[in-house]
Chain A
């Protein structure tokens, strides 16, 4: 199963560079925190804003690079990507989705060939698909969310943790087929 948490964890295992997109500047800090929280807790974390600062961090440090000039930073990384070759923990580059940095990636073949599979777009990857979620619920529970909730209200569902989890998911999905 792929979601942004899985993708971030996977990319963190594969230094030297990865890219995470964010939606607006107000979310940048929380996205950085999310990445740091998924990373190995034994890794030191440094927040940096330039390529030179990222280069100066130890190879075993998680460097969170949020550049002010994203386009120029991508060009610099494209021209000097190999300076990071010996890192054991990645540098994570944060780019505004659809911004100058992401656009510059399309003209940065050297960098893109390194980060192609380590390019995370949480907002896109975590888009909720109600149809898929309903199908998964029905496959797992053998009932629609509405049927499950009706049984719950009639007291026909036990109080096991698994049942409580399913009830919570059913509440989220209740009526979601009306949305389609």
Chain B
């Protein structure tokens, strides 16, 4: 059996409810879903790029589907998030909650529920009339201010579905400025009265523009999606998690079906990934391409992985600003209190520094791919 390596698709999160989902050791999706059901308070989800935030958000959607009218809104699939303003965001929310969608992956909408009710025929009287639904949908497009349109569409969906609405909003982590982020969150606040709101958010929202200026507000809960622990390597929970993730994507039922060397290559890739699923999948995808290109091989070997690692190290070097290596060296093994907050947020967001749970508490460590650069001096 030769895998279709393109199925690794490192840039693609798992679809909501998709069978490729592998729970991370932290089980963060389940924790968020429990929190939403228990408290209803707004949830912010943060973590380094490539750690699986979008996948976990999609998993939260799948877990809540039984109890809530769930709307998974992937804003970044449609918008340049750097230019997104509150009105545009609310228009998207209104549009998404109101319009029908193909497939169930992103949840339900007013139109979907209305169609479902219409299909019942004689049960039409159960709702206050589909005419009002149609009127609401029409008005969302043109008449109402975006904030009102979003609010109205949420209430309509809650009324028709007879369930509380949960908005799961992906992509806000790509908003770079704290002020822009705060403006977007302020615009969501009125909706949080009517619906559960779970958003993937940038770290500047949690840390603030300065260390003493946390932008999290009372009642908001920040869940941190941390890269799984990779040490001690032989027993670390991150290793089997990543291997299962790879197996699920490549539809490998049993690693015994693969060459012995591939198991070692996969474990090495897991180590060098620092536990970040995207980096792990990228390393394997690149190694597989090198295997095909350099030796005509169907399975990557150690030398192919080494080439892939070199590519990643070069890419990582380009993510560094002058002085970053010194900052990373100084922060290694500490809690990072001495780091300038802007640098800390940036290095954590890039995954250049990783938070690790140790017996001494959570400390910062450089990403494994950076170690050769750090030792160069």
B339 to nearest A CB, angstroms? 16
B316 to nearest A CB, angstroms? 6
Interface residues of A, count at CB 8 A? 34
Complex alpha-carbon distance, A133 and B279, angstroms: 32
B349 interface contact, C-beta 8 A: yes
Residue pair A16, B49 in contact (C-beta under 8 Å): no
Given contacts A79-B80, A106-B321, contact A6 B174 (CB under 8 A): no
Of all chain B residues, the one with the shortest Cβ separation from A6 is B293
Hey, what's the 0/1 contact readout for B11-28 against A, CB within 8 Å counting as 1?
Answer: 110000000000000000
Given contacts A14-B285, A109-B346, A117-B308, contact A80 B79 (CB under 8 A): yes
B310 surroundings in chain A (CB, below 8 A): 2
Hey, what's the 0/1 contact readout for A102-142 against B, CB within 8 Å counting as 1?
Answer: 10011101101111111101000000000000000000000
Of all chain A residues, the one with the shortest Cβ separation from B84 is A79
Contact with A109, one of B74, B312, B321, B350 (Cβ below 8 angstroms): B350
B354 to nearest A CB, angstroms? 13
A116 surroundings in chain B (CB, below 8 A): 279, 282, 311-312, 315-316, 319
Complex alpha-carbon distance, A118 and B176, angstroms: 23
Interface residues of B, count at CB 8 A? 48
Given contacts A85-B12, A106-B318, contact A14 B286 (CB under 8 A): yes
Residue pair A102, B318 in contact (C-beta under 8 Å): yes
B233 to nearest A CB, angstroms? 22
A10 surroundings in chain B (CB, below 8 A): 286, 289-290, 293, 311
Contact with B311, one of A7, A9, A80, A106 (Cβ below 8 angstroms): A7
Residue pair A1, B294 in contact (C-beta under 8 Å): yes
Complex alpha-carbon distance, A94 and B175, angstroms: 24
B319 surroundings in chain A (CB, below 8 A): 105-106, 109, 112, 116
Complex alpha-carbon distance, A114 and B279, angstroms: 9
A5 to nearest B CB, angstroms? 9
Residue pair B318, A105 in contact (C-beta under 8 Å): yes
Complex alpha-carbon distance, A172 and B47, angstroms: 51
A16 surroundings in chain B (CB, below 8 A): 11
- Interface majority SS (helix, strand, loop, mixed), chain A: helix
A78 interface contact, C-beta 8 A: yes
B residues 263-300 near A (Cβ < 8 Å) are 278-279, 282-283, 285-286, 289-290, 293-294
Of all chain B residues, the one with the shortest Cβ separation from A115 is B315
B residues 235-270 near A (Cβ < 8 Å) are none
Contact with A2, one of B79, B80, B311 (Cβ below 8 angstroms): B311
Hey, what's the 0/1 contact readout for B218-233 against A, CB within 8 Å counting as 1?
Answer: 0000000000000000
Hey, what's the 0/1 contact readout for B327-366 against A, CB within 8 Å counting as 1?
Answer: 0000000000000000000100111000000000000000
A residues 69-103 near B (Cβ < 8 Å) are 75-76, 78-83, 85, 102
Residue pair B171, A119 in contact (C-beta under 8 Å): no
B194 interface contact, C-beta 8 A: no
Complex alpha-carbon distance, A110 and B170, angstroms: 13
Contact with A13, one of B10, B11, B289, B351 (Cβ below 8 angstroms): B289
Complex alpha-carbon distance, A15 and B316, angstroms: 19
Residues of B near any A CB (own CB < 8 A): 6, 10-12, 48-50, 74, 76-84, 171, 173-176, 278-279, 282-283, 285-286, 289-290, 293-294, 307-308, 310-312, 314-316, 318-321, 346, 349-351
